[in-house]
Structure 1
Amino acid sequence: MPHGSSLRQAITAPGTTPLIGVYDMYSASIAAARYDGLFVSGFGFAASHYGLPDIGFIAWPDIVAFTERLRGAFPRHHLLVDIDDGYGDPEVACHVVRRLEGAGASGVILEDQKRPRRCGHVDGKQVLPLDEYLDKLERVLACRGDLVVVARTDATDEAEILVRAKALAATDADVVLVDGVRDADAIRRIRACAGDKPLLFNQIAGGRSPRLSLPELAELGVDVAIYSTPCLFAAHSAIDKALAELEASAGRLPAAEGGGVGVPESIALLERNLR
């Protein structure tokens, strides 16, 4: 089955489909052993690839190259890619979408932010006029083949959120995402505005949205959930802890026994990608 159709089928199945945010090939290797779906998080990729915050530094050739590597290693996993605002005008957005579909992406998320853009869970976001975003979205939809397209709004005013959710749901986009949703009641209102259109919810530690389980999201009518940064933030914590312990022990490495990771465990993980 084509990658887009496979993801579309998972999204429309009963329950809430989880997609795990990854930021490099190693984190993807760990996530792929436990989950069927991966998400290329803009937050994670900006941090990992550039060492910069998620405020618009990503260059589209880097995202395409990363997607190609992921698809080569994980041929059967769902692969949703965050493309921010499409990296510029509609012509660039369409070119990026074609390239990503050729690289094996299952789907993309296109947002309505204007530049300078921000992470969806921080202050300072500005959105394009709705007509301007809808024009870009329609052009992206017209150029895709089987690719799943998620239409995302970063509006923050509640009335504007509902207007945009309804407008996005009326397009041929496969899924609607309102980022930075504050509470479960807001999800219910968005669900009502979106009609029968599948709904995506973005969870990020320390973000604006509530921490909800998959059964809770399913009860609210959410069809797919992306977890943007669990791998990145876990790595941050674990690396900092490991280096603090190394410093405290005057440079003596801890034993790998007792559940730790050493050379054999790392090689065993990576050898799966050769199959």
Structure 2
Amino acid sequence: MKYGTALRDDVANEQITPLIGVYDMFSASVAAQHYSGMFISGFGFAASHYGLPDIGFIAWPDVVSFVQRLRLAFPGQHLLVDIDDGYVDPEVACHVVAQLEMVGASGVILEDQRRPRRCGHVDGKRILPLEDYLDKLDLVLSTRRDLLVVARTDATEESEILRRAAALAETDADVLLVDGVRSVERIAQVREVIGDKPLLFNQIAGGKSPRLSLPELQELGVDVAIYSTPCLFAAQAAMDGALRALRDDDGRLPEVSAGHVGVAESLALLERNISRNHPRTVELPV
């Protein structure tokens, strides 16, 4: 299956394409019940795999391994992968792109940050000279066969954002992302500058960008919306609440009722990851 083509076709549709950030196989299992596409975010992966902030700790073999496991369990999902700056060197970026395409990724996002990098929605970001980033992007584009490529700029000054957006729109990248965009007006400016190039908008709770609905984004000309951390942040809040309740009730587990999950509910979720690849559902013992 051409996963890049499938995502590219969805992006070309009139309806905006939402992709939900997942951080491990379990969060992906939950997300697959509600959405047809996933985003493997650097923030979520750094937090779940290493217990560290998203400031450049991620090793590319770990990402490739994760995407391979995702594709096996979710053969029909779009899988867009954040590869940061391509792990520094252009040669490494191309190698990672080839590896990810081989294991079934649908697309990648390549940013123009320089090390030490930062999450796109925090202060202190520094960016590569535009020419250096364009050279890296061109190499990645020449390496991919079908993979969708998102060109991302982390520029923060208005003139530089628009200069880079215009330059990226002239490349063969499939989609463009200005990360950490701070206003509706700025989205409209970018949309005007890039012409017909598909536009991606990244939302993260508590981040720099405005909270907008999918209809609002579509009205602004956005084609793809990624939600970096809804699963991660919800899990943090829910786990903290559950453990506080367990402690406060002297270690007594809650009844399995509305709002609570038990063994049967969790197994039913996980069994779907087997049945998607096999004609018969495997019955697991409880």
Please list the CA deviations of residues 54-84 of structure 1 after superposition, one character each: whole Å capped at 9, or x if unmatched: 0000000000000000000000110000000
Letter of the 1:104 counterpart? G
Whole-angstrom CA distance in 2 between matches of 1:161 and 1:192? 13
Cα shift at 1:124: 0.2
RMSD in angstroms over aligned alpha carbons?
Answer: 0.5
Contiguous gaps of at least 5 residues in structure 2: 276-286
Whole-angstrom CA distance in 2 between matches of 1:49 and 1:193? 38
Cα shift at 1:115: 0.1
Whole-angstrom CA distance in 2 between matches of 1:257 and 1:206? 31
Whole-angstrom CA distance in 2 between matches of 1:93 and 1:15? 31
**Secondary structure at the residue paired with 1:76?**
coil
Letter of the 1:143 counterpart? T
Aligned equivalent of 1:156:
156
Contiguous gaps of at least 5 residues in structure 1: none
Runs of at least 4 residues off by over 6 Å: none
Letter of the 2:70 counterpart? L
Whole-angstrom CA distance in 2 between matches of 1:31 and 1:92? 30
Letter of the 1:266 counterpart? S
Letter of the 1:255 counterpart? E
Aligned equivalent of 1:143:
143
**Secondary structure at the residue paired with 2:94?**
helix
Aligned equivalent of 2:282:
none
Aligned equivalent of 1:10:
10
Q: How many residues align?
A: 275
Please list the CA deviations of residues 62-116 of structure 1 after superposition, one character each: whole Å capped at 9, or x if unmatched: 0000000000000011000000000021000000000000010000000000000
Task: Kindly indicate whether the alpha-carbon contact (under 8 Å) linking 1:15 and 1:215 is maintained by their aligned counterparts in 2.
Answer: no
Aligned equivalent of 1:100:
100
Cα shift at 1:233: 0.1
Whole-angstrom CA distance in 2 between matches of 1:12 and 1:258? 40
Letter of the 2:4 counterpart? G
**Secondary structure at the residue paired with 2:19?**
strand
Select between 251-260 and 178-187 the one with higher mean Cα deviation.
251-260
Whole-angstrom CA distance in 2 between matches of 1:159 and 1:128? 16
**Secondary structure at the residue paired with 2:109?**
strand
Aligned equivalent of 1:88:
88
Letter of the 1:176 counterpart? L
**Secondary structure at the residue paired with 2:81?**
strand
Task: Kindly indicate whether the alpha-carbon contact (under 8 Å) linking 1:4 and 1:105 is maintained by their aligned counterparts in 2.
Answer: yes
What does 1:1-275 align with in structure 2 at a 5 Å threshold? 1-275=1-275
Please list the CA deviations of residues 190-229 of structure 1 after superposition, one character each: whole Å capped at 9, or x if unmatched: 0011110000000000000001000000000000000000
**Secondary structure at the residue paired with 2:126?**
coil
Provide TM-score, normalisation by structure 1.
0.99
Whole-angstrom CA distance in 1 between matches of 2:68 and 2:256? 33
Letter of the 2:222 counterpart? V
Whole-angstrom CA distance in 1 between matches of 2:199 and 2:231? 23
Cα shift at 1:16: 1.1
**Secondary structure at the residue paired with 1:64?**
helix
Aligned equivalent of 2:279:
none
Please list the CA deviations of residues 14-36 of structure 1 after superposition, one character each: whole Å capped at 9, or x if unmatched: 02100000000000000011100
